[in-house]
Amino acid sequence: MLYEIIKFPDPVLEKVAEPVTLFDDSLKKLVDDMFASMYAAEGIGLAAPQINISRRITIIDLSFQKRPEEKIVLINPEVIAVEGKQHEEEGCLSLPDIREKVTRAAWVKVRAQDATGKHFEVEGTELLARAFQHEIDHLNGILFISKISRLKRDLVSRRIRKMMKNGEW
The ranges assigned to domains in the chain are 11-165
Phi and psi at 37, nearest 5°, equal -65, -40
Phi, psi of 151 (to 5 degrees): -60, -50
- Residue list for the binding site for Fe cation: 92, 134, 138
Q: In this predicted model, what pLDDT tens digit does every residue of 57-112 receive, in sequence order? A: 999 999 998 999 999 999 999 999 999 999 999 999 999 989 999 999 999 999 99
Identify the band that residue 33 occupies on the pLDDT scale cut at 50, 70 and 90.
very high
| Residue positions counted in the chain | 169
Contact 131, 62 (CB under 8 A): yes
User: What are the distances in angstroms from CA 125 to CA 52, 73, 107, 144?
Assistant: 29, 17, 4, 18
Residue 110 is which amino acid?
A: V
Question: In this structure, which amino acid lies at residue 42?
Answer: E
For residue 4, the surrounding DSSP H or E stretch is none
Q: What percent of the chain has pLDDT over 90?
A: 96
pTM (whole model) above 0.85: yes
Residues with a catalytic annotation lie at 135
CATH topology of domain 11-165: Peptide Deformylase (3.90.45)
